[in-house]
Amino acid sequence: MPRAVRIILSSIYEQGFFEVSFELRKGHSPHAAIREWHKRLAGLKATWVSDANISGSLASINHWMLIDLLRQRRHGDTLVRLVGKWRKAGSQLPSSTRESRRYSNPRA
């Protein structure tokens, strides 16, 4: 089921991504990102490059705002409820322990 929803949402939101956004997009591999960087930096005399690690940023996203965005795009209550359930469900860690990912409601 998550794959089907990902396909639906990707087809809707794909046109909103910047062309230089490569993360988790079909046809935008890490190798394509490196080629794009080489192409863009070739004519510049850059003396430094900045690298940012955003691995923990998902936990800081306002998930209620994302749900509201889905509602505004008129995706239907079923899809919004399903995404909300995934948000609350947590994930299975390799050690077979369950990691809960319950986020507080900033409106409460």
The per-residue pLDDT for range 23-82, each reduced to its tens digit, is 667 777 788 888 888 888 887 877 777 777 666 666 666 777 777 877 887 767 777 888
16 backbone dihedrals φ, ψ, rounded to 5°: -85, -10
| 98-104 average pLDDT score | 49
pLDDT reported for residue 80: 80
Q: Are 22 and 29 in contact (CB under 8 A)?
A: yes
Token pair, residue 80, equals 């919004």
